[in-house]
Amino acid sequence: MSSNVSQAKPQQNLRVQQWVAVISVFLLLVKIIAYYLTNSVAILTDALESIVNVAAGFIGLYSLYIAAKPADQDHPYGHGKAEFISAAIEGTLIVTAGALIIYKAVKAFFYPEVLSSVDTGILLVALTAVINFIIGQYCIRVGERNQSLALVASGRHLQTDTLSTLGIIAGLVVVYFTNWIWLDSAVALFFGILILYTGYTILMKSVAGIMDKADLLLLNRMVELLNINRRPNWIDLHNLRIIKYGSILHLDCHLTLPWYLNVHEAHVEIDQLASLVRTEFGESLELFVHSDGCLPFSCQICTKEDCQERKKVFEKKVTWTLDNILTDQKHKIT
């Protein structure tokens, strides 16, 4: 049996990503102007990362457009995987930018550039830092609420860009007052390594999503929820699986119910399970529950007190854990 999928807020994700793409273009132009005025390799570092921001912004925009499409005959589970692909491309771009920044920084140590108008450059990149922080924070908040990996990845990237910009500003302030030109390259090198690591973490997370790697934190929350709110007719639950497609969670499980319940009564129990899970995890859930009738050995773990068909004496309640709820096997007293 399955419940209907209620859409999360894919259109909101799309609108936010549209703003990210547009603002990224503006910030890139500001940083290019700042580099042109100062000739600073640290500001060039910031500008190179902004090029990645622009590319990632439009890639993320397209992925959210695809992910917002409803399930169809060719994609019965929806199009949410597009977000993982987008995040993988973004992670790759960030890694590439980090490597290029490191190359430029090392080269600048041996062939330093003469800096100029550093004070103007500081003001321009400070403006981009403020805008990046505000937009990044909003992306993360909306992305986490709507369970959008692409939007969260964009927000994290923008926040990392903010931190690197602040570091660059600090370095430029020191350069401005001390004329230590080598510090410009040192700052660029440090943040190049930081950007490289950020891209790596985004890339690994997206690959895990594409490969449907189990989300243990999510599974633990689910198991705890089911244990706390367990109903008398839920004799056993096993073969629990959760797959995330963009903002939609697909949950499969086998639920053991009293064998004498009719189809309508069994469906009521499944509806109760669906309602419980949606209350905790939101409406963007697709639930597939296979109902099993209890067998004589189920009596030993069944806590239902008013059962008139009990064949064996109750011995022990089985507490569901990750170890026993994920297996494709009914629980029994061995």
Residue 5 has pLDDT above 50, yes or no: no
pLDDT band at 39 (very low <50, low <70, confident <90, very high): confident
Residue 233 has what pLDDT? 92
What 3-state class would DSSP assign to 286?
A: strand
d(CA 145, CA 48): 30
Structure tokens at 164: 């690197």
Beta-bridge partners for 2: 288
Residue 212 has what pLDDT? 60
Tell me what the pLDDT averaged over the chain comes to.
80
Rg (CA), the chain: 27
d(CA 147, CA 204): 18
- Is the pLDDT higher at 9 or at 265? 265
Structure tokens at 272: 């109760």
Residue 257 has pLDDT above 90, yes or no: yes
pLDDT band at 281 (very low <50, low <70, confident <90, very high): confident
pLDDT band at 70 (very low <50, low <70, confident <90, very high): low
Q: CA dihedral defined by 108, 112, 116, 117, rounded to 10 degrees?
A: 30
pTM of the model as a whole: 0.56
Q: What percent of the chain has pLDDT above 70?
A: 83
What's the whole-number mean pLDDT along residues 256-269?
91
Q: Which of 192, 196, 200 is nearest to 167 (CA)?
A: 192
145-171 pLDDT, tens per residue?
877 766 787 788 788 778 778 878 888
206-217 pLDDT, tens per residue?
776 666 665 677
Residues 6 or more apart whose CB falls under 8 angstroms from that of 205 comprise 87, 91, 149, 153
- Is the pLDDT higher at 29 or at 17? 29
For each of the domains in the chain, give its residue range(s) and CATH number, in order of start: 10-210 (1.20.1510.10), 216-325 (3.30.70.1350)
Residue 7 has what pLDDT? 44
d(CA 153, CA 139): 9
Residue 112 has pLDDT above 80, yes or no: no
From the CB of residue 278, how many other CB atoms can be counted at a distance below 10 Å?
Answer: 16
Q: What separation in angstroms does the CA of 95 have from each of 107, 211, 311? A: 19, 21, 62
d(CA 241, CA 215): 10
**Cβ distance 103 to 228 under 8 Å?**
no
pLDDT band at 80 (very low <50, low <70, confident <90, very high): low
Of the given ranges (25-29, 81-85, 160-164), which has the lowest mean pLDDT?
81-85
Give the amino acid at 213.
Answer: K
Residue 72 has pLDDT above 80, yes or no: no
d(CA 4, CA 284): 10
Residue 78 has what pLDDT? 60
